[in-house]
Amino acid sequence: MRAQTLLEARWILLILGLCAVATCFVSVWLTLIFLTLVVFTIAFFRDPERPVTKDPNLVVAPADGRVSDIVELDENEVLKTRTRRVGIFLSIFDVHTNRAPIAGRIVYRQHHQGLCLDARNPHCSEKNEAMTWAFENLHETVVVRQLTGAIARRIVAWANVGDELKKGERFGMIRFGSRTELYLPLEAEVLVKTGDHVSGGSTVIARLPD
């Protein structure tokens, strides 16, 4: 387990642990339920190491999950141009750390208040609470947007504007089911399709033009 990620679960684990201890004097079944929730929480906050491609033209997935949509639209917050968006839905069974899709410097980070609609809702991208990031290097700038869901209500940021990140390096997480979006230039060749399951930091999402 990675300490920084597991630290995000400290209060949840403390409460569940205290409940397990308290209920052992009342009901063995209740104790087993709380212990099961402890195991599930530890599993949810797992954060494995991943092999990362060194090819500077390849963009990796910023999150684990299933590709829910690939659409062409305007990205008006940072790039202010037409882009191709790859949406990734994270279930409660996916690893929830977010990773840099390219190597580069964080040039933008902005938190937005909003609703907590189901992350599978097509309107959640415009209405849900979100954190927008922009990663820039000598070749390209790409945008990542973290979105809360009906269960996920906490976006955690581990990096700041000005930080230099390696490709696949962790910059934050979203707790308990959510959505992560990647905004790419139209010239990028998308290498995944809707329905594919991707692994953050490891699965190649797209190839940037030379």
Q: What span, in angstroms and rounded, lies between the C-alpha atoms of 180 and 86?
A: 9
Q: What span, in angstroms and rounded, lies between the C-alpha atoms of 13 and 189?
A: 43
CATH 2.70.70 domain extents, the chain: 58-207
Whether this prediction's pTM lies above 0.85 is answered by yes
Q: Which of 68, 178, 199, 202 is catalytic?
A: 178
Q: Residue 25 — left, alpha, or beta (φ > 0 → left; ψ -120 to 50 → alpha)?
A: alpha
Catalytic, 199? Answer no
Class level of CATH domain 58-207: mainly beta
Task: Report the amino acid identity of residue 128.
Answer: N
pLDDT tens for the chain, 210 residues long, are 577 777 787 788 888 888 888 888 888 888 899 889 888 878 777 888 999 999 999 999 999 999 999 999 999 999 999 999 999 998 888 988 999 999 999 999 999 987 776 666 666 777 788 999 999 999 899 999 999 876 556 788 999 999 999 999 999 988 766 899 999 999 999 999 999 999 999 999 999 988
